Amino acid sequence: MLFRLLFIGLFCCTQTVAAQYLDLKFVATWGGKPVDAQKYYKLPSGDSLRITNFRCYISGISLSANGKTVYIEPNSYHLLDMAEPPSMQLRLPNIPKYDAIYFSIGVDSIMSISGAHGGDLDPEKGMYWAWQSGYINFKVEGNSNLCNTRRNEFQFHIGGYAGKDNALVKLTLRNADAPNTMTIQIPLSKWLQQIDLRQQHTIMSPSAEAVQLAKQFAATLNIQEP
Amino acid sequence: MKKLLVITCMLTTAVLLSFKTIKMQFAIPQGWPKPVYDFGKNPLSYNKVELGRMLFYDPVLSRDSSTSCASCHSQYNAFTHVDHDLSHGINDRIGKRNSPALMNLAWSSSFMWDGAVNHLDVQSLAPITNPLEMDESLPNVIRKLQSNKRYPAMFYKAYGDSIITGQRLLQALSQFMLTLVSNNAKYDSVMRKQAVFTENEDKGYTLYKQHCASCHAEPLFANYSFENNGLYVDKTLNDSGRMAITKQPTDSLKFKVPTLRNLKYTYPYMHDGRFKHLGQVLNHYAMGIQHAPTLAPQLRKGVFMNSEEKFYLISFLATLNDKSFVSNPAFGYPQKYFATGEGL
């Protein structure tokens, strides 16, 4: 019995030693390259656009191996901000071997209805709607000659937690190699080119349109090949 | 070694005791339901309530430092803005609804006339950032408070360090607002068997139970549901109420049921402040009901009362006026924290 316990103890120790960290790097890209907030990008139509602001909540990160959950990040809410490079990188310490990563884009309904939170969820971050409660899951802002708006601005504030307007999207990315560093590409070029900016340039409240855009957004994310 | 241990123990006890003295217990009045607000997540303390009170009365929350929460929610008026039909913000900008009276907020499950806000902690964001109200941003308020000569010390007292965050600011405001409990009207004394209704009040109480209680339920005199009470649509506002939030046609023209407490201090009435007198309100229920698919079923036939009955009902409603609430110095302008001429 004692021997068995010792064995288990040893086994646990080796497991801890074997455990690694995982650095998750997020990159907002245009045509495969990191977005430059100063630059106007040419569209195939000859029109152009610039992305001045990209901010996004990543939450509920977990890992699985062979279909079983092996790691759940506690208090998992992260605000990515293209203008603040350190925010685009997260480190998960002491993780076991995994072959898939799960996370959500946005903030779940529980946090959306339970008052003022701190850290990345603090309303001072500008990602909480003041006039109608709820988090903005992600923001993409910029200018394009296609938008017949003040200063040719487009403003996508995508959020909503209730009922049909729930814009939280869960996604799974598989990577059998279980690397220590994983770069997740957010190809804004793909997402924005699915939108007719002449018609759709300003979304600032929960709606069916917002839910649709959130799904399209999540579908573009992918693991960048090293 | 032992000595050190004893000293450590004593110090720990002293620290614990010093915190204990500033903790506050939220008192639920006898016979009232359990509050909706989760005090476990934001436990009341004297220093946080005082910080919230200071912020409530400080115009620094507005863009041009002209308008405080108390500008539209003054204590003399049970924390609403008397004699203005619509709210009144900086630069004399006029909003689109009547500022609501603030009381018994711990029992409220949603905020605003249309329930747009789902938690007291995030309620203050709306007036702070609304261009027609305080027209300010939370990060800017924080910057102003950081450079203010008093606030870092007040945050230190409240939170143990002087870091000012949005969460702390909002939760301190909540703490002050949660203390605004009105439960000392004559009605409350009668319920506690410390007083009795006059004959007229008693008749009015019976009429209230018959005609009003299904929405304005005791003891809060509101059920916090959303109802269409048959008001005609003011074409200058075209306010669809709750439907703007839920997008459900079944919520068209519905507004939150307000409390009947402290009506003496809170006129004008309704979401757009259209009625100045209670008599007008009763006349509306008798003769003014506009039929619409979402009209509250209780109002389909109107609420008819003869003039005697109206008099009795108004006599009863007067027993819901809580003078101690509008004069309690603990809820008032915190003179001691402001220099002369500052605040409000």
Mutation for testing the A interface, residue in B122, B129, B159 having most A CBs under 10 Å: B122
Distance CA B79, CA A4 (A): 69
**In this structure, what is the dihedral angle of CA atoms B333, B337, B342, B344, given to the nearest 10 degrees?**
-20
Q: Looking at the predicted structure, is the pLDDT value of residue B64 above 50?
A: yes
pLDDT at A7: 46
Cβ-based neighbours of B13, under 8 Å, separated by 6 or more: none
Shortest CB distance from A116 goes to which of B129, B137, B171? B171
Q: Any idea which residue has 């005697």 for tokens?
A: B308
HSE-CB for B154 with a 13 A CA cutoff: 24
pLDDT band at residue B19 under the 50/70/90 scheme:
very low
pLDDT at B86: 84
* Contact criterion met (CB < 8 Å) for A114 and B120: no
pLDDT band at residue A11 under the 50/70/90 scheme:
very low
Distance of CA A34 to the CA centre of its chain: 15
pLDDT at B23: 84
Helix boundaries (H) for B57-165? 69-72, 120-123, 125-129, 138-146, 151-159
Nearest CA in chain B to A207: B247
The one-character DSSP state at A132 is: S
Are B37-181 and B186-323 in the same CATH fold? yes
pLDDT tens figures, B298-328: 999 889 999 999 999 999 999 999 999 999 9
Q: Any idea which residue has 């402290």 for tokens?
A: B262
Mean pLDDT of B36-57: 96
* Contact criterion met (CB < 8 Å) for A112 and B118: yes
pLDDT tens figures, A51-90: 999 999 999 999 999 999 999 999 999 999 999 999 999 9
pLDDT at B11: 56
Q: Regarding predicted confidence, which is higher, B201 or A6?
A: B201
pLDDT tens figures, B101-120: 999 999 999 999 999 999 99
Distance CA B267, CA B274 (A): 10
Mutation for testing the B interface, residue in A112, A113, A132, A136 having most B CBs under 10 Å: A132
pLDDT at B302: 86
pLDDT at B335: 86
Produce one character per residue of A63-102: b if its CB has 16 or more CB atoms within 10 Å, e if not. Answer: bbeeeeeebebeeebbbbbbeeeebbebebeebeebebbb
**Phi and psi dihedrals of A215, rounded to 5?**
-65, -45
The CATH number that domain B186-323 falls under is: 1.10.760.10
Angle between helices B151-159 and B46-56 (to 10 degrees): 150
pLDDT band at residue B8 under the 50/70/90 scheme:
low
pLDDT tens figures, A138-170: 999 999 999 999 999 999 999 999 989 999 999
Distance CA B144, CA B141 (A): 5
pLDDT tens figures, B225-273: 999 999 999 999 999 999 999 999 999 999 999 999 999 999 999 999 9
CA distances from A23 to A20, A73, A93, B83, B314 (A): 10, 13, 9, 60, 68
Domain spans of chain A? Answer: 22-223
What is the rounded end-to-end Cα distance, in angstroms, of chain B? Answer: 55
Q: Looking at the predicted structure, is the pLDDT value of residue B17 above 50?
A: no
pLDDT tens figures, B178-223: 999 999 999 999 999 999 999 999 999 999 999 999 999 999 999 9
Q: B 95-154 residues with CB below 8 A of A?
A: 116-122, 125-126, 128-130, 137-139, 142
Query: Would you list the DSSP string of B162-211?
Result: ----HHHHHHHHHHHHHT-----SHHHHHHTTSS---HHHHHHHHHHHHH
Nearest CA of chain A to the CA of B244: how many Å? 10
Nearest CA of chain B to the CA of A127: how many Å? 11
Nearest CA of chain B to the CA of A206: how many Å? 9
* Contact criterion met (CB < 8 Å) for B116 and A123: no
pLDDT tens figures, A163-214: 899 999 999 999 888 888 999 999 999 999 999 999 999 999 999 999 999 9
Determine the 3-state secondary structure of B6 from DSSP: helix
Mutation for testing the A interface, residue in B110, B120, B165, B167 having most A CBs under 10 Å: B167
Mean pLDDT of A5-34: 69
The letter for the amino acid at A45 is S
Mean pLDDT of B28-49: 96
Q: Regarding predicted confidence, which is higher, B302 or A12?
A: B302
Domain spans of chain B? Answer: 37-181, 186-323
pLDDT at B267: 93
Angle between helices B46-56 and B166-178 (to 10 degrees): 100
pLDDT tens figures, A96-141: 999 999 999 999 999 999 999 999 999 999 999 988 999 999 999 9
Burial of B137 (0-12, 13-18, 19+ CB in 10 A): middle
Nearest CA of chain A to the CA of B273: how many Å? 21
Short-list B153, B124, B97, CA closest to B337? B153
Q: Regarding predicted confidence, which is higher, B264 or B90?
A: B264
Cross-strand partners of B212? none
Give the per-residue SS3 of B280-322.
Answer: HHHHHHHHHCCCCCCECHHHCCCCCCCHHHHHHHHHHHHCCCC
Cβ-based contacts of B145 with chain A (< 8 Å): none
ipTM, 2 dp:
0.82
Mean pLDDT of B123-139: 92
Distance CA B251, CA B240 (A): 8
Q: Does domain B37-181 have CATH number 1.10.3080.10?
A: no
Tokens of B187: 């009605």
Cβ-based contacts of B175 with chain A (< 8 Å): none
